Structure 1
Amino acid sequence: MKNLIKSIILLVFLIVGLSTHAQGYDLNDPNLIFKDNKGNIQTREWVSELFKKGSVSVRQKKNTDGKTEMTFNLISKKEVEENKKRESDGIEKLKNTKFPDFNLSTVDGKKVSNKDLEGKIVVFNFWFTTCGPCVTEMPELNKIAEKYKDNKSVMFIAPSFEENEMIKKFLKRKSFDFKIVARSTELNKKLGILSYPVTIITDKMGIIKEVIYSGENIIEKLDKFLYENI
C-alpha cells in the first residue's frame, strides 16, 4: 500500500465546561489513536473521510502509555452555529483594538511583522489547506487582490497555521494571490480564531475594523471598506 501523504487537519475540540479550541495535528503521528463515537478504533483514512461529511467535534484524552486518544463525532448545523456565535462574540470585542504583534515568514522565506504594515490597510484572511470553505472563497478573494494590486496602501496577507511544505503543495494546484504566511498558530490564538475562514481588516494605524466570516458577502464588504478608506 502506498504511503499516506503527510497532512495536517483542523481538529475542533468541544470540551465540557470549556470554550472550543482548534489545533493542527499530523494524522501520521504514531502517538495518536483515532476512535468513532462508539469507541471503535479507526484509521487515518476514516478520519479524513469524516471531515469531508461536515463539521466534526473531537474529544481527546491521554492514555497511560502516553498516547493520545481522539474520539470523533459529526456535529449538527445548530451546534456549529452556536460555536460560531461564541467565537464571533469574542472576536467582535477585538474591533477598534490594536492588531496583535507578530513576526512570521511567508512561504518563500520573507519576514513579515507589524512594522512592515505601518501606514497600510491590511486584509488578513486566516485559512488552511484542507478547509473547504477557505478554498471556495479564494477565487473571489483573488479578484479583490487583483483589483487593488497596484495600490501600495493596501496589503493582502493569508496566515495559515500549517507548515511551508504543506502550503507549497497546495499552491501548486490552487492559486491564492495573497501574501501567504505559514506557522501562524500563536497569532491565531492571540486573536481567538477557532473556525475558518475568517477575514480581519485593519486600518492604517493597525486597528482592527472589520471581522468577516465565510459566506457573509465577503467581496462586497471588502470592496466597500477599501473604497471608503483608501
Structure 2
Amino acid sequence: MQKFIGLLVLFIISITATAQTKFSEPEVDPIQIQKNFKDWSVYQSKNIMLSRDFLALDALSTEISKETFLDQLANENYIPIRLKSEQGIYCYKLFTIQPNSDTSIKATINQIGFDALKNYKMEGTVFPPFSFKDLEGNLVSNESMKGKIVVIKCWYIHCTPCIREFPQVNKLAAEYKDRKDMLFVSLAEDSATQLKTFLSRKPLSYAVIPDMKVYMNEALQLNSFPTHFILNKEGMIAKVLPNFESLEVALDKESKL
C-alpha cells in the first residue's frame, strides 16, 4: 500500500512538473522587447489577443484566472508575453516591466488591460435594452435579434481605426451572408444625414443605426472605438472585442457552436 501511495505521489509530481514546463519558454525575450515602445507595440498587436481564450500564468508561472491576469495588467507593473506552444494553444505569462523601459509601455498596457477586463466582465450578461431603426427604416431590437448570432460594430465617422477596418468587416459579412441565423448591425454616433453622405463613399455591409452616441456612452459605457460585440442566440453577450482580428477569431468559434 505504501509503495502504491509512493508511486501515486511520484506520478502527480511528474504530471505537475510537465504542466509547469510545457509552457516554459517565452517566444520573445521579455527584456529585449521592452527596449523601445515601437518593438513592444508591434509584438503586442500581432501576438497578444486578450479577448481570446488562453491559459494565464502569473510572474511565478502559477496558473491564474483570466480575470486576475487582466486585473494585474490593468493595475500593476507587468507585460504579457506568449509562451511557446503548439499551434492553436495560447498561454500568456506576466513579466515584470523593467525600470529602464519606456514609460509609455506601462501606461499603454495598463489601458489595454483596463479595457480588456471591462470587456471580459460584460461577457455572459444580457445585451442592454435595444430598440432603434436603421438607415433603411427597419426596426432592430432585442426581440428581433433573438434566435440569431448578432455581430455589432460600434464606431463613428472620424474614428480612423473604425474606418480602416471597413474592407475587412465587409468581407467578413460576405463570408456569412448565407447564414440566415446571423445578423450584422453597426451603431454609429453620427446623424442619419452625415452617415448617408459618408457611406455613399465608403460603403459598410452592416445595417447602420444612427445617433447612437448616448446609448453607447450610457448603456454600453464604451470608451474605445471600434468595439465589436458578438451576441449569442439567447441575446447574451458572448464576446466584446477591440478590433477586426479578434472579431474574426471569436466569430469563427461562435458560428460553430
- TM-score, normalisation: structure 1: 0.61
Q: Which structure features the higher share of helix residues?
A: 2
Equivalent of 1:164 in 181, 185, 192: 192
Find the residue that maps to 1:166 and give its secondary structure. Answer: helix
Partners in 1 of 2:151 and 2:207 — Cα distance?
Answer: 10
Partners in 1 of 2:167 and 2:106 — Cα distance?
Answer: 28
Shift of 1:205: 0.2
Partners in 1 of 2:119 and 2:215 — Cα distance?
Answer: 13
Find the residue that maps to 1:86 and give its secondary structure. Answer: helix
RMSD: 1.9
Deviations 1:102-137 (A, max 9, x none): 111212222211111111110011111111111111
Q: Structure 1: which 5+ residue stretches go unaligned?
A: 1-75
Residue equivalent to 1:200:
229
* AA aligned opposite 2:194: M
Equivalent of 2:204 in 167, 173, 176: 176
Deviations 1:19-50 (A, max 9, x none): xxxxxxxxxxxxxxxxxxxxxxxxxxxxxxxx
1:117 correspondence with 2:145:
yes
Contact 2:123–2:238 under 8 Å retained in 1: yes
Q: Structure 2: which 5+ residue stretches go unaligned?
A: 1-103
Partners in 2 of 1:207 and 1:215 — Cα distance?
Answer: 20
Runs of 4+ with deviation above 4 angstroms: 76-81
- TM-score, normalisation: structure 2: 0.55
1:55-134 pair list within 5 angstroms: 79-134=107-162
Q: Which structure features the higher share of strand residues?
A: 1
Question: Highest CA radius of gyration, 1 or 2?
Answer: 2
Residue equivalent to 1:137:
165
Task: Provide the aligned length of Structure 1 versus Structure 2.
Answer: 153
Shift of 1:155: 0.2
Q: Percent identity?
A: 31
